[in-house]
Amino acid sequence: MISFDTFKPGDGTPIYLQILLFIKRGAVAGTILDGDELPSRRVLSALLGINPNTVQKAFRMLEDEDLIESQTGAKSTMKLNDEKIVKLREDLLREDIRSITESLRQMGITREEAVRLIERFWDEE
């Protein structure tokens, strides 16, 4: 069963998108695997203290992206393979890097300064 113990909503992004990203990032990190079961929509909505329709929207988007398989009366399970994980990683990185790059440019940071900043923060972790 996929655990949402480390899920921390915040940052103003719609909660259904935060759930979607949490699951995608878990798949890329290897903490969520092919065949893993998700909590039921009702259980997850109660656990997170959100409307069941919000969870339903996130699950529907995962279904539309062919990342989970849901059957009436059964739990939803992850549908992952190496190809999907590679694509997820590329998509997530592309989105994050574009956002960071835009912010750096808006602040007048040069490419060289950006590389130095990344190296500095990388080493802090």
pLDDT tens digits, one per residue of 46-68: 999 999 999 999 999 999 999 99
Same domain, 51 and 2: yes
Same domain, 69 and 100: no
pLDDT band at 11 (very low <50, low <70, confident <90, very high): confident
Same domain, 75 and 91: no
Same domain, 5 and 51: yes
Q: Which domain holds residue 66?
A: 1-80
**Mean pLDDT in residue range 88-92:** 97
Contact assessment for residue 91 and residue 83, using Cβ atoms and an 8 Å cutoff: no
Same domain, 92 and 72: no
Number of domains in the chain: 2
Distance CA 89, CA 27 (A): 9
Residue 52: give its domain's CATH number.
1.10.10.10
Residue 20 in this model has a pLDDT that exceeds 90? yes
pLDDT at 125: 64
Distance CA 91, CA 113 (A): 25
Distance CA 10, CA 43 (A): 20
pLDDT at 123: 87
Distance CA 61, CA 78 (A): 13
Does the global pTM surpass 0.85? yes
Residue 120 in this model has a pLDDT that exceeds 90? yes
